[in-house]
Structure 1
């Protein structure tokens, strides 16, 4: 089959712009045979390749990606490894589901932290927790208070912060309240992805800048690029939203564009005016209208806002310029003490969701397994999905596989153009209904 759409990677990613130069691994320029093919070198593919190498030390794993490590969606997120579900229910079944998710997420965070420390990956990895904040009293009542009660039911530690306490922690008086949870991690996601790619076991060969233009799944797996091919008897498909291009999960994935911006570094005098020293991460009570923010170790402020329906999986430069202007306005409203701080980088990343928030995981053909559709929590979800897909494919006895299957599978979507109309209408309604959280 011909591949109709491949990722388009620009050079706008602010997370990687300040990193030291890196030489990507060579592209696929000849015919290569391996024991295992892993398609996609994001968090899921990197985790799957690493686990396959551990489970099958005498076998050769070929990992192939259309771009360079850290430059695709995996290096463009907000840099949170989240250990808690965004929305926790209060019934016993929902609470048990939350416990299963937390087991998976904490398994992946522990695994990533071990790799970071073992290989001295310089990615600003820190266990600084997360503030989940509301702007309006309505957000406090409908999101934060129920969230706090459910954290109590789960036995999870948290701290309730009023407006003054939030201001002291994040340097902005824009928020009415927040719930702080100490778990999870913050990092530079581009640096983390680079580090994971550059420390793969010796029996993994990574091919970067190698977009697949055709695929054949008869008599094994045969992927063709412009200058070579990759063959193997078995494959783990970890191409996230692009997995549907290979004939799997048709009409199951929603493609969204998320936009982020990083300021330039604060000067010494600006940092003193700002008044906050410690790095922090904040997620909004409402993901549609609210803003995700970070204060980094090198004194930059991240603004991530603007989640749009993007079935083409492409974002134009004009859209990014418009987003940059919007982000500057949002920054000025939240940090009026920093009027001269400019936005230095604005970029976009393509997010894959399912209608029912379920992952694409499991065996999808006699010789193909998948770890895709991370539902906007790629660092932790991608890592545990890829690891467990490798364990499933190599018949390892891992009890977390049952937890993974308990998350369900993506439900079918309405056909286009009805889907487009429905998604855009839902987005407009969510933005209007939650406008007080902007």
Structure 2
């Protein structure tokens, strides 16, 4: 028997803007008594809800499934990302997003399996296109250096047999309304989501079969014939546990000195007026990923359920191994994003940012997941390496299938990976990583 006390919880700076612009949700109860379950999933993000949905497909209805969420649904990282579900290679540790051909081909197959699962979820729970839609992915360049990144990426896609098309400056302006981008690379196969709305609708659909508890952090884990998960006001005893908490897995004592905790930051405008939308032009919904991995991601979303037409700017990355981002990083992000918005949308002078926030990523040095049975009948579905929507969905599905089935054809492909590699010691890790990121951000130049 092992006993682990969880003494810290991650802290997410700023509001989860995607959730804030939605109508308030009625929410779920807090666990305030002791109970039992056949299965407990810790974490109600992309991985946790994917695991829950896959369990409902694999298990008899008599099996009791419980989901414990430390905060509110869609308030954590699940509601703080940019809303891209990317099927193609997208390694943030790489200078060009890509790896070896064989590894990337395997990754594409798995990513598309996850996106298909998300699409089936959207259909089952009657989500509109504003919440989930299959769409193209556009990588945008604003400099000759950015164009070289695009050409390198296009060459790699051609080598692995993936179709793409190149967009010129005029086509990029017609799409975005901005003359900032001079070249684009468009691929098909991904999806765009309103991440908070997707998670909320998924949770609501699952709640007909799954018991969901909010504001219920796990403060102690004791393993045994029946594992015990203790919370501030109650406890759950269960035969099986899936930990879907991304980088927070280290707070449970697993994967020590192997995971990188990176914060990225974003800003969202207030609702754009009809006059401002006319000045902007372009399409109603679009997203641009930067040609340089350290560049700026931009999304334009149209009105959904009264949320209004808005623009989202995301850039800056900092390593914070404490799982907390200081206010100094938020101030730095604010200045950087205000300049990025001004550079891209000079016609929208006077448009303020209504929401600013930070979100946690979990990476490993070798871009491997923190996955598998880490104690008897306890599985980890963590470390999404910057692709929480896709890799989270994938790892949640995989954990459920490994726990129930043991193996499947696609699961065997997923399991063909190493464990996260060991990190350098502190303080060299944090100093070196943050200096490297600052250097790469400076090198990105106008792409930022």
TM-score class, shorter: over 0.9
CA 1:387–1:286 in structure 2 vs 1: closer, same or farther (change >3 Å)? same
Aligned match for 2:68, one of 49, 64, 74: 64
SS at match of 1:183: strand
**Mapping for residues 145-164 of structure 1, pairs under 5 Å:** 145-164=151-170
Is 1:342 aligned to 2:342, yes or no? no
Which residue of the partner structure matches residue 130 of structure 1?
137
Tell me if 1:45 matches 2:48: yes
**1:26 paired residue among 24, 29, 45:** 29
Q: Residues 130 and 182 of structure 1 are in contact (CA less than 8 Å); yes or no, is this contact kept in structure 2?
A: yes
Structure 1 Cα separation of the partners of residues 446 and 328 of structure 2: 27
User: Counterpart in 1 of 2:311?
Assistant: 301
Question: 2: distance between equivalents of 1:97 and 1:332?
Answer: 39
Shift of 1:166: 1.5
CA RMSD of superposed structures (Å): 2.1
2 CA distance for matches of 1:307 and 1:269? 34
- How far apart in 1 are the matches of 2:164 and 2:136? 10
Match of 1:431, SS state, is helix
Confirm or deny: 8 A CA contact 1:3 1:213 kept in the other structure: yes
Which deviates further from its counterpart, 123-132 or 34-43?
123-132
Cα-to-partner distance string for 1:324-372 (whole Å, 9 max, x where unaligned):
3432221111101111211111111111111111111122122111110
| Cα contact 2:165–2:187 (8 A) shared by 1 | yes
In the alignment, which of 222, 225, 231 is matched to residue 219 of structure 1?
A: 225
Structure 2: segments with no counterpart, 5+ residues: 304-308
Which residue in the other structure is 2:320 paired with?
Answer: 310
After TM superposition, give the deviation of residue 56 of structure 1 in Å: 1.2
Q: For the Cα contact (< 8 Å) 2:56–2:209, is it kept in 1?
A: yes
* Residue 329 to residue 433, structure 1, CA distance change in 2 (3 Å): closer
Q: CA deviation at 1:7?
A: 2.7
> Would you say the 8 A contact 1:48–1:389 is kept in 2?
yes
1:407 is displaced (CA, Å) by: 3.6
Give 1:74-153 correspondences, 5 Å limit.
74-86=78-90, 94-122=100-128, 124-141=131-148, 143-153=149-159
Alignment deviations for residues 273-308 of structure 1 (CA, whole Å, 9 cap, x no partner): 1111331111112232x1000010222111001111
Partner of 1:291: 296
Residue pair 1:237, 1:372 contacting (<8 A) in 2 also: yes
Matched, 1:14 2:17: yes
Q: Where does the alignment leave 5 or more consecutive residues of structure 1 unmatched?
A: none
Cα deviation 1:3-58 (Å, max 9, x = unaligned)? 12113356612111121110221111111111111111111111111112221122
Moved more, 263-272 or 195-204: 195-204
| Contact 2:363–2:386, Cα closer than 8 Å, also in 1 | yes
Cα deviation, residue 124, structure 1: 2.6
Cα displacement (A) at 1:315 = 2.9
Aligned CA distance change for structure 1 residues 248 and 130 (closer, same or farther; 3 Å) = same
Report the more deviating stretch, 182-191 or 210-219.
210-219
The answer to whether the Cα contact below 8 Å between 1:9 and 1:67 also exists between their aligned partners in 2 is no
Residue 231 of structure 1: aligned partner = 237
**SS of alignment partner, residue 199 of structure 1:** helix
Alpha-carbon shift at residue 126 of structure 1 (Å): 2.0
- Could you list the per-position Cα deviations for residues 359-401 of structure 1 after superposition, in whole angstroms to 9, with x for gaps in the alignment? 1112212211111000110111110111011101112542111
The match for 1:371 is: 381
- Taking the aligned partners of 2:272 and 2:326, their CA distance within structure 1 comes to 29
Superposed displacement of residue 406, structure 1: 2.1
Change (3 A) 1:5 1:199: same
TM-score (structure 2 length as normaliser) = 0.92
Question: Measured at CA, do residues 430 and 10 of structure 1 come closer, stay the same or move farther in structure 2, by a change above 3 Å?
Answer: closer
Deviations 1:162-187 (A, max 9, x none): 22222221122222311011221111
Q: Distance in 2 between matches of 1:89 and 1:192?
A: 31
User: 1:167, 1:407 → 2: CA distance?
Assistant: 41
1:143-222 correspondence runs (5 A): 143-200=149-206, 202-222=208-228
Output the CA distance in 1 between the equivalents of 2:208 and 2:274: 44
Q: Does the 8 A contact of 1:50 with 1:201 survive in 2? A: no
